[in-house]
Amino acid sequence: MKKVLLFFFNIFFFYKKKRFKILIYEIYFAIKYLKSGNFYKFRNDDVMTDTIPCPYYFIHKISKFINKEKIRNIVDLGSGYGRLTNFLDDKTEASIFGYELDKDVFKISMKNKKKNTTIINDDILNIDYNKLKVDCFILNDPLHHKKKLEYLIKKIKVSKIDSKKKYYLITININEKKMHIFEDYKLLKITSAGYSKCINFFSN
C-alpha cells in the first residue's frame, strides 16, 4: 500500500507540468479499467525496471498519435499488466502486440487482455525483430542499463534496414542521459510533464 501511495506521490511531484491532468485521467480510467489497469509490481532487479503503469494521460496522447498516423500494427516492449495494450485496443484500429518477461505479470495480463491484443512471454532482448512485422515500437523505459537499451534499439534498426516502409518509436520516461541512443531517428513531437517524464515520438 505504501508503494502505491508513493506512486501517486511521484505522479504529483515529478509530473509537475501536467500533474492535474494526469491525476484526473488516472481517477477516471482507473475506474473504467478497474480489472486490467491498476496493477503494480516493485522488484529488486538490476536489469528490468519495476512494473509501474504508464499514466493514462500519456496513453491517451499515444492513442491520438497512432490514429493520426494511421498506424496499424503496434508492439509494446515490456507490456506489464496490459494497461497500455488494452487502452490502445479500445481506442485505435491497430493490432496490438505485447512482450512481457515476468511470468506472473504475464499470466495476469493474459487473463485481462482485449480481443485484438497478443501478449507473449519473452525477453525483449531476445526477440527476432526480423520476423516482427509492426509499424510502431513502444518503450516505457523497460531497462535499467543504457547498453542494453542501445542493444535493443540496434536490433530494431537492423531489422528495418531493408524495409521501405516508415516505422515509429515511441519512448516513455526514458532518462535524458539515454536519449542520444535515438539520434538516428527524427523527433516528430514531444509531450513533456517534467524532468525525464515525457513521451517522445520518433520516426525513421
Supply the CATH number for residue 159's domain: 3.40.50.150
Q: What residues make up the domain containing 75?
A: 2-203
Q: How many domains does the chain have?
A: 1
- Per-residue pLDDT at 163: 82
Strands 117-120 and 186-194 come out as unpaired
Contact 48, 108 (CB under 8 A): no
What SS3 state is found at 194? strand
Would you state the cell numbers that stand for residue 60, as one nine-digit string? 491517451
- Per-residue pLDDT at 89: 94
Q: What is the pLDDT of residues 54-93, one digit of tens each?
A: 889 999 999 999 999 999 999 999 998 899 999 999 999 9
Return the biggest CA–CA distance within the chain.
49
- β partners of residue 49: none
Query: Among candidates 97, 33, 81, which has minimal Cα distance to 60?
Result: 33
Question: What does the alpha-carbon distance between residue 59 and residue 88 come to, in Å, rounded to a whole number?
Answer: 8
